[in-house]
Amino acid sequence: MLARYARNTRLGDAVQQWAFGSLKGSPGARAYYDALRARNIGHQAALRQLANRLVGILHGCLKTGTVYDETTAWAHHCKRPGAGWVCGPPVRLR
């Protein structure tokens, strides 16, 4: 059996670095990653799922012509205050 072509390696590496970097800069991405890890999903698998989610958010922004907003992007993954963790304030782009 031959190995199949699964992905563009450079694009996959870039998206994985994007996901890894977002763990520090995005409270919503961090909360999503932590929730995956709490479900006993390994680091690499959780990072892949986070990367996939970020690509989905980017696609939505490009499709609708909207600017990325942290609060909107992660709203359905954040809990209300007093119920555990919450996502932080929106990240402003320069």
How far is it, in rounded angstroms, from Cα 55 to Cα 50? 9
Query: Residue 93 has what pLDDT?
Result: 45
Query: Residue 61 has what pLDDT?
Result: 92
**Structure-token pair, residue 54:** 């970020």
The tens place of each residue's pLDDT in the chain, 94 residues long, gives 666 777 788 998 999 999 999 999 999 999 999 999 999 999 999 999 999 999 999 999 999 999 988 888 888 766 655 544 455 544 444 4
Instruction: Tell me which long-range contacts 50-57 makes (C-beta under 8 A, separation of at least 24).
Output: 50/19, 50/22, 50/23, 51/15, 51/16, 51/18, 51/19, 53/29, 54/15, 54/18, 54/19, 54/22, 54/29, 55/15
Q: Are 17 and 23 in contact (CB under 8 A)?
A: no
Query: Residue 79 has what pLDDT?
Result: 60
**Structure-token pair, residue 91:** 């990240």
